[in-house]
Amino acid sequence: MGQCYKPELTRRTLLKSAAVLPATILFARDISRSDHEAKRKPHILYLMTDQHRADCLGCAGNKVIRTPYLDSIAEQGVIFSSAYSSTPSCTPARSAILTGLSPWHHGMLGYGRIADEYPFELPQALRNTGYYLFGIGKMHWYPQKKLRGYHGTLVDESGRAETPGFVSDYRLWFKQQAPDLDPDATGIGWNDYRAKPYALAEQLHPTRWTADRAVDFIEEYDRPEPFLLKVSFARPHSPYDPPQRFMDMYNEDDMPAPCVGDWAARYAPHEDPPNPSLWHGDLGIQQAKKSRQGYYASITFIDEQIGRILAALRKQGMYDNTLIIFFSDHGDMLADHHLWRKTYPYEGSAKIPMLLRWPKDMGMDRQRGKTLPQPVELRDVLPTLLDAAAAPIPNHLDGRSMLELVRGNTRRWRPFIDLEHSMCYSEDHWSALTNGKFKYIYYAYDGREQLFNLTNDPREPSPSKGLGELHDLAGESSCRDVLLQWRQHLIEHLSERGKDFVSDGKLAIRKNRLLYSPNYPGKTAGGGFS
């Protein structure tokens, strides 16, 4: 392993190497606003993980996982305890972030290709307010190197190559660092349930590469305008492949057992031997715990790297004037209810971590360290960042600034958030609503309904408390009025979509898959399942 590993290139060498870094990293100045005006705005550090469950943070009440640096962001800011990804798979989640819109309005109802261009997008909107934007890590756009308003990007797209001739910046760097090694030497796949320690030197791992590039950016930044730095980690999405020292931090037997609802038996069967990329199947508690060991260790690895990024901000004197937002695109079922991966309405898949820490000069110090229960969603990221930049928030956005909740303006906040996903792994496609206390789910293929009390539902007796949804209340006579109320809310929400969704005042049965709504820009593109 070690004989082919070369020392990391210096920042100066990297900047000279067009094979490793594209010319877009050269920080060409093209902002017309005055330096004085720009300095009034905070820097923005936009931290993102991929497939990160809401309950996998220490600050979320998980007593097993170790996330001290993410916890510090919550301590100095707020944690949103009812944060969701409306369409919980990678690309539609990123469309919500880009556009500030709901699934029907940005057009992606499931996993496909993000549109080439939307009329109003986050990067260009922030650039227009005087920010210098740079993105590092997983973008998952199409085309893959499209800047969308960023001044530059350094992309880690794993082995994905959707654009002809595309090779990610991480893979180019890896080839230069270790020309005789295989970046996939660990031997587990992108949707694998198995966990193994990373087979190569830690410095070669994409999680480390992403943080190294972010630290480089912060340490070298000397422009007058404020920056928005997007740092998008490709983990803890499988492969669950942290370095050995992080695996060693966790005892497999200490991992929380999966939550399995009294309604979930339909998802227990699986092939024998099981497909490493299966989406459902009871593989036993011990396998679930082994997978969770690798998953938890991957998150702690990311947390340590975020600590390095925060330290770089402090070293450069930028920390106090930086707004920090952290979230994920969706969660990971990790065998809850015998399900794996994502695209489901259940908490493990659809509920996400969401942290927000604001600069000192914004005040609101009495709010720091609080947990805010109002339902928020990825569509709220764009208006929040516009608010932080003191920029106008367009009326067409479905999202709202989460800074309003920090300010205490809660009376007119949305009462619930909508969730949905088109057919993906199975023939099921569903729509749901939740306020963080109750959740109503409608499966449109056959008309099944589920209702969960997220507050009082019995929880798995584990140190992390689990995510419940163990008992489906839809068939209980004592809950009929509650069920009818939530069903009516969904009818009203879907009514703008026409008779395919609501017919004669009732939720319609839909047998066909609808991946894109009529609001999807341009020609419909194909897209595989991830």
What are the beta bridge partners of residue 503? Answer: 506
CA distances from 150 to 8, 27, 30, 123 (A): 26, 11, 12, 6
Residue 235 backbone dihedrals phi, psi, to 5 degrees: -110, 165
Residue 365 backbone dihedrals phi, psi, to 5 degrees: -65, -25
Fill in the amino acid letter for 9.
L
Measured distance CA(234)–CA(138) in Å, rounded: 6
> Cβ distance 491 to 442 under 8 Å?
no
Residue written as tokens 């499209």?
Answer: 146
Cα-to-chain-centroid distance, residue 260: 24
Measured distance CA(305)–CA(205) in Å, rounded: 12
Measured distance CA(44)–CA(392) in Å, rounded: 17
Residue 454 burial (C-beta neighbours within 10 Å; 0-12, 13-18, 19+)? middle
Torsion of CA 275, 280, 282, 288, to 10 degrees: 80
SS3 sequence of 190-255 = CCCCCECCCCCCHHHCHHHHHHHHHHHHHHHCCCCCCEEEEEEEEEECCCECCCHHHHCCCCHHHC
90 an active-site residue?
Answer: yes
140 an active-site residue?
Answer: yes
Instruction: Give the active site residue among 56, 59, 90, 259.
Output: 90
Name the strands in the sheet holding 448-453, side by side, starting at the edge strand that comes first in the sequence. Answer: 417-421, 430-434, 438-443, 448-453
Fill in the amino acid letter for 251.
N
Instruction: Give the active site residue among 52, 105, 140, 151.
Output: 140
Assign 286 to helix, strand or coil.
helix
* Helix residue ranges, H only, 178-284: 206-220, 244-247
Fill in the amino acid letter for 55.
D
Torsion of CA 418, 424, 425, 430, to 10 degrees: 30
CA distances from 281 to 275, 335, 337, 346, 404 (A): 10, 8, 9, 16, 42
> Cβ distance 425 to 341 under 8 Å?
yes
Cα-to-chain-centroid distance, residue 256: 22
What sign has the CA pseudo-torsion 429, 380, 453, 497?
negative
> Cβ distance 44 to 323 under 8 Å?
yes
> Cβ distance 109 to 102 under 8 Å?
no
- What are the catalytic residues? 90, 140
